[in-house]
Amino acid sequence: MSRKKTTNSKEVRNQNYEAKKMNTSENFKKKKDKSLPWWVELLFVQIGLPDKLLIKILKTKKTSKEFIKNEKKSITIFLSVIAILGYFYPVIKHAKNKLDCEAIAKNYIIKNKNIIGVNNREIKMISTNFCHGGEEIYEIENLKN
């Protein structure tokens, strides 16, 4: 009797295995029956682009997902650095333009105006004033006369 029980249990196992096998094949068919994404439908079915291109796109998509998953920390740091540089770039550019304006105004004052008795700090002050909209640069000759 124990022998029959073991055969029955083997038969039950085989039936369970066959049932599972059938379920997996049904699941596979369900996965296969999914509709294509809109971009695949448009580009490769309607327009008729080559299938090799689709394979390359899907491989690239898969590798990029894996890369993002594995390198999340370094990508976050890189994007943060880019955002910080993008945020401070206008400030740096404004400061550079301001310094360039002061240097050009200082050179103009030294070359074209009568600056006898005016020290270097006063020239820098006048050039800064001129770059901020002041008109003292035009009054230098009037003061000396």
pLDDT tens digits along 25-50 = 555 555 556 777 888 888 888 888 89
Query: Global pTM?
Result: 0.47
Integer Cα distance of 137 and 108 in angstroms: 9
Integer Cα distance of 139 and 114 in angstroms: 11
Integer Cα distance of 47 and 24 in angstroms: 34
pLDDT at 40: 87
Asked if the structure places residue 27 within a domain, the reply is no
For residue 138 the two structure tokens come to 């035009």
Q: Which domain holds residue 99?
A: 72-145
Q: Is the pLDDT of residue 10 over 70?
A: no
Q: Render the burial of 63-89: b for 16+ CB within 10 Å, e for the rest.
A: eeeeeeeeeeeeeeeeeeeeeeeeeee
Asked if the structure places residue 126 within a domain, the reply is yes
- pLDDT, greater one: 49 or 6: 49
Please check whether residue 113 is in contact with residue 141, taking contact to mean a CB–CB distance below 8 angstroms.
yes
Integer Cα distance of 97 and 95 in angstroms: 5
SS3 call for 133: coil
Place of tokens 């998953």: 69
Domains in the chain, number: 1
Q: Is the pLDDT of residue 91 over 80?
A: yes
Integer Cα distance of 88 and 91 in angstroms: 5
Asked if the structure places residue 31 within a domain, the reply is no
Beta-carbon count within 10 A of 51 CB: 9
Asked if the structure places residue 67 within a domain, the reply is no
Asked if the structure places residue 17 within a domain, the reply is no
